[in-house]
Amino acid sequence: MLQPGRLVQLLTLMKLPWCLLEFLLSAVAQGQEMYAPHSIRLEGDITLGGLFPVHAKGPTGVPCGDIKKENGIHRLEAMLYALDQINSDPELLPNVTLGARILDTCSRDTYALEQSLTFVQALIQKDTSDVRCTNGEPPVFVKPEKVVGVIGASGSSVSIMVANILRLFQIPQISYASTAPELSDDRRYDFFSRVVPPDSFQAQAMVDIVKALGWNYVSTLASEGNYGEKGVESFMQISRDSGDLCIAQSLKIPQDRKDKTYEFDKIIKLLLDTPRARAIIVFASDEDIKQILAAAKRADQVGHFLWVASDTWGSKLNPVVQHEDVAEGAITILPKRAMIEGFDTYFTSRTLENNRRNVWFAEYWEENFNCKLTISGSKKEDTDRKCTGQERIGKDSHYEQEGKVQFVIDAVYAMAHALHQMNKDLCTDFSGVCPEMEHAGGKKLLKYIRSVNFNGSAGTPVMFNKNGDAPGRYDIFQFQATNTSTPGYHLIGQWTDDLQLNIDEMQWGKGVKEIPSSVCSLPCKPGERKRIIKGMSCCWQCELCDGYQYQFDEENCKVCTYNQRPNENRTGCSPIPIVKLEWHSPWAVIPVFLAMLGIIATIFVMATFIRYNDTPIVRASGRELSYVLLTGIFLCYIITFLMIAKPDVAVCSFRRIFLGLGMCISYAALLTKTNRIYRIFEQGKKSVTAPRLISPTSQLAITSSLISVQLLGVFIWFAVDPPNSFVDYDEQKTMEPNQARGVLKCDITDLQIICSLGYSILLMVTCTVYAIKTRGVPENFNEAKPIGFTMYTTCIVWLAFIPIFFCTAQAAEKLYVQTTTLTISMNLSASVALGMLYMPKVYIIIFHPELNVQKRKRSFKAVVTAATMSSRLSHKASDRPNGEAKTELCENVDPNNCIPPVRKSVQKSVTWYTIPPTV
């Protein structure tokens, strides 16, 4: 037993308002019964308490309002029905009668707290030592009945308030409707249990529904109070844990509101601020639900909002009456339940005569039949119709079993099964309630309650986990009003630890079957990444993976490897196509055509020279160097085919060898020739002695030594950097990946090409210098001037080649332009030498064989003397008729050595061979 002083401390710990605390304690100290004038008392061996919202919350200053027919009377009668069934069951609590003390909470937590003090009166010891009656005798107090357990309450806020008192006195409590997650805290509400699953399960089921429908952007709406706020809080927590569900707005419906219409219109306006969040998660009372539907209709938003509501909406018709079009498609959830036929039979048989134990039944009768009883104190003032008492529930009025009736019955049976097992364990040899059971206390009874496991009124197991929660089992409904023969709530699925949803049975506004969307951002297209908006994982902007990037995952782009490019939709990478200069390409056709013509011409010249190898013209040309020069020209044409051929190790090796070799051979031979001419005539100015190293063997040796320098450089190149082919992905890596190409090429850089040609260019420049120095040699004596013209033209060709080659180094068509430029330049160089040095000789040999005859050999002294005199007289040639200078020259030498007068063009050709044939 608790002393009042101890009670003060305990109630203070509950942090109740002091005015209420003072009122309660004063009442307890005075031994007053703190309950409403109307309460239900049923005598029994064991008394159970009952808390039901018989009346609605009253206006300010009035604790109770109108009677609640379903939530109040139906549930209260369900407890009475369960007690009757248990007391008549010989197997359950035999020889024990269960009594009851049932109170009205008026749907208000503070009022329920006052009422619940009735349950603890028997546990409070009163000090009556100083209390005397008027006759001096001590007073006689009627001892209140002891309540061993309480069934209730309904609302979560009421249960929380009551649980704080009951746990102080260790009175177990089993709720039939309170679902707030807060009540699962076994440390604060250790004597609280419930036969309905907590809202955390309900919230999980609602999260699963939202995900199953493909929604990820929702708003929440809650009635102010524990139920609504804690339900939304639980939903939001599960959403955060899941990571792929975002809350656009979380709004609360205030309890104390002056202008209901304004408040609800304001809420609808706020919800429309996030139009993409069409799904609204509702944890609200049925009255608030009705008001919010009306506000949506006033805002002309029929069909916009997608409601997902908790069990307070459930399958009730009251919230959707006159708002069916706005509510269509609403998904609601209810703990899995069944209609109890026995209760229907029981309740429809209740009359004013046979149900006098229910002190509120007369008020219910008036409200249900809309009539007025003649008894005094009737609250029905809006009708003059008199009740006859012959009305029958279900016949003269609509009747539908309230949804929580099953759970009220299960709660009473859970308490009865716990008491039954406790009785069996403690009163083994005792019929009825033994003293051990009377003094066992609430803690022991709680242990038995948490251990119960039986099939409830609906045939489903009734049990509790360590927190006193029932397992989560829900039915999922959808309100459908279009394209259906029976408008109303249709069962579309269930949730028992996991979701089972029949999407094919669902339909939305105006009977549409397609699931509407409630997403913050539409899915990104392939090849686009999500740029998440800070703080909202479901909201993003789509950004295209640009350049050589591809979509690695939803939020990241990555660059393809160097040899790959993004595929068409940028979801992966594909190999970059490899290209090379093809034979059929216009860039290759022209060089190949020129090279083939040059090769044919070179072979023809070479064949002609071989055929007429011993004729004067061929001998006078210097047969040995001519064949070397023609070989170099041939190789200059051949390099075209090597530059266009598919690169591999062999082709790349030959490219390195022949790239500069052809030009080197050609210009080495020409340099030897011009150097010989220069030395001959320079020596002739000083003496008549022939210079050294002018014999054919010497000339070949000099040429070979010059060529060996090129070959030595190539071999060193081979040793330092062995030839190889590779694919260059940077050369044609354009800004547009679809235009990127890998170029198959030899590992020869532009600089290496120039270096390979550099030695040949050096020979060419040196040869040009000698050609300039020998430009004064008369055409009668040698090829100095044709060689000069050849070198001048060649220099122009290569001066044009170098800027073109380097200026196109960064061009997309570099492979084609540079290869074509290089091959054409080499073809032109070879063609110039072939045309200017050998075509006139071939012309004489073939078409004028009469001129290809042996002339009398002249001595070196005669040649030099003639050349010297010719040089001295050459400056007068412009003042004389054609041929006069030559005539004058002939007058100063042996007339037998002079060439017979012929046509100028022919004479010019013939005079080339007046030097001894060793040249």
CB-based contact 543:559 (threshold 8 Å): no
Average pLDDT over residues 598-604: 93
More confident residue, 509 or 85: 85
CB neighbourhood size of 632 (10 A)? 26
312 pLDDT more than 80: yes
Each residue of 629-672: pLDDT tens digit?
899 999 999 989 988 888 999 999 998 888 888 889 988 888 88
Amino acid found at 249: Q
Going by C-alpha positions, the residue among 327, 289, 290 that lies closest to residue 306 is: 327
Closest-CA residue to 407 (of 267, 197, 120): 197
Determine the pLDDT at residue 749: 82
Q: Contact at 8 Å (CB) between 264 and 297? A: no
Mean pLDDT, residues 303-320: 90
**SS3 category, 50:** strand
Q: 454-455 and 578-579 as β-strands: parallel, antiparallel, unpaired? A: unpaired
Residue with tokens 């082919």: 725
**Cα–Cα dist 266/564, whole Å:** 57
The pLDDT assigned to 232 comes to 92
Tokens of 365: 């009768």
Query: Within its chain, how far is the Cα of 526 from the centroid?
Result: 10
Residue 562: C-alpha distances to residues 360, 571, 737, 749 (Å): 85, 17, 12, 19
Q: What is the pLDDT of residues 776-821, one digit of tens each?
A: 665 544 566 777 778 888 888 888 877 777 776 666 577 778 788 8
CA–CA dist 313, 87 (Å, integer): 34
pLDDT level of residue 592 (50, 70, 90 thresholds): very high
Query: What is the model's pLDDT at position 36?
Result: 43
Tell me 74's DSSP state: I
User: Closest Cα to residue 248, out of 212, 220, 229, 207?
Assistant: 220
The answer to whether 207 and 237 have CB atoms below 8 angstroms apart is no
Neighbours of 590 (CB within 10 A): 14
Residues 6+ apart with CB under 8 A from 209: 308, 331, 333, 476, 495, 499, 501
- Collapsing DSSP to helix, strand or coil, 211 comes out as helix
| The pLDDT value given to residue 255 | 80
Task: Say if residue 297's pLDDT is above 50.
Answer: yes
Q: Where are the alpha helices (DSSP H) in 62-176?
A: 75-87, 109-120, 156-166
DSSP type of residue 647:
P
Question: In 10 A of CB 899, how many CB atoms?
Answer: 14
DSSP H or E segment with residue 49: strand 46-52
Whether the predicted pLDDT of 264 surpasses 60: yes
Q: In whole angstroms, give the CA distance from residue 812 to residue 178.
A: 76
CB 196 within 8 A of CB 175: yes
Q: Is 411:176 a contact under the CB 8 Å cutoff?
A: yes
Structure tokens at 312: 């307070």
Q: Are 689 and 704 in contact (CB under 8 A)?
A: no
DSSP of 441-478: -HHHHHHHHHH--EE-TTSSEE---TTSPPPP-EEEEE
308 and 279 in contact (C-beta within 8 Å)?
yes
For tokens 């009359």, the residue is: 351
Whose tokens are 């942090």? That residue is 15
Cα separation of 240 and 315, whole Å?
Answer: 29
What letter would DSSP give residue 483?
Answer: S
Specify whether the CB–CB gap between 68 and 55 falls below 8 A: yes
Which residue spans within 230-351 are E strands per DSSP? 246-253, 279-283, 306-309, 331-335
| Model pLDDT for residues 346-368, shown as the tens digit of each residue | 999 999 999 999 999 999 999 99
Residue 296: the pLDDT is 94
Provide the strand spans (E) within 733-805.
741-746
What pLDDT sits at residue 912?
37
- Spatial distance between the Cα atoms of 845 and 609, rounded to a whole number of angstroms: 9
What helix, strand, coil percent values describe the chain, rounded to 5?
50, 15, 35
For the purposes of burial, counting CB atoms within 10 Å of the CB of 723, is it exposed (0-12), middle (13-18) or buried (19 or more)? buried
Q: Are 477 and 332 in contact (CB under 8 A)?
A: yes
Tokens 């509407």 correspond to 516
Which of the four pLDDT bands, split at 50, 70 and 90, describes residue 684? Answer: low
For range 116-131, the mean pLDDT: 75
- Per-residue buried b or exposed e for 744-773, using 16+ beta carbons within 10 Å of the residue's own CB: bbbebeeeebeebbebbbebbebbbebbeb
CA 478 to chain centroid: 33
Question: What crossing angle do the helices spanning 109-120 and 156-166 adopt, rounded to 10°?
Answer: 30
Count of alpha carbons within 13 angstroms of residue 332, beta-carbon side:
26
Give the pLDDT band of residue 243 (cuts 50, 70, 90): confident
Instruction: Please state the rounded mean pLDDT for residues 711-735.
Output: 86
At position 439, the amino acid (one-letter code) is H
Candidate from 129-143, 173-187, 720-734 with smallest mean pLDDT: 129-143
**What integer pLDDT is reported at residue 756 of this predicted model?**
83
- Nearest 5°: phi and psi at 99? -105, 180
CB atoms within 10 A of CB 341: 10
What is the spatial distance between Cα 63 and Cα 55, in angstroms, rounded to a whole number? 9
Check residue 6 and give its pLDDT. 45
Name the 3-class secondary structure at 742.
strand
DSSP 169: G
Band of pLDDT at residue 33, cut at 50, 70 and 90: very low
Better-predicted residue by pLDDT, 885 or 173: 173
Per-residue pLDDT, 279: 95
Q: What is the DSSP letter of 396?
A: S
What is the percentage of the chain residues whose pLDDT exceeds 90?
37
pTM above 0.75, yes or no: no
The SS3 call for residue 51 is strand
Q: Give the integer Cα–Cα distance in Å for 615 and 853.
A: 7
In the predicted structure, residue 601 carries a pLDDT above the cut 50: yes
- HSE-up of residue 887 (Cα within 13 Å, Cβ side): 8
The C-alpha atoms of residue 613 and residue 620 are separated, in whole angstroms, by: 10
Specify the pLDDT at position 875. 43
Q: What confidence tens digit (pLDDT) does each residue in 66-84 have?
A: 899 989 999 999 999 999 9
In what helix (H) or strand (E) does residue 173 lie, and over which residues does it extend? strand 173-175
State how beta strands 192-194 and 173-175 pair: parallel
Residue 355 has a pLDDT of 93
Res 93 pLDDT > 80: yes
| Distance, CA of 858 to CA of 844 (rounded, Å) | 22
Q: Which amino acid is at 783?
A: E
Residue 129 is predicted with a pLDDT of 63
What is the pLDDT, as a whole number, of residue 893? 35
In 612-736, which residue ranges form alpha helices assigned H by DSSP? 616-620, 623-644, 649-686, 696-720
Better-predicted residue by pLDDT, 21 or 663: 663
| Per-residue pLDDT tens over the stretch 527-573 | 898 888 877 788 888 999 988 899 998 889 999 998 899 998 898 99
The neighbouring-strand residues paired with 335 are 474
Write down the mean pLDDT value for the chain. Answer: 82
Closest by CA to 176, choosing from 290, 82, 313, is 82
* 700 pLDDT more than 50: yes
Q: How far apart, in whole angstroms, are the C-alpha atoms of residue 688 and residue 698?
A: 20
Query: How many other β-carbons are positioned within 10 Å of the β-carbon of residue 336?
Result: 17
Q: What is the pLDDT of residues 855-912, one digit of tens each?
A: 655 554 555 555 555 544 444 444 443 333 333 333 333 333 333 333 333 333 333 3
Q: Taking a C-beta distance cutoff of 8 angstroms, is the pair 216, 538 a contact?
A: yes
Give residue 579's pLDDT band: very low, low, confident or very high (50, 70, 90): confident
| Whole-number pLDDT of residue 242 | 83
Given pLDDT bands bounded at 50, 70 and 90, which one contains residue 823? confident
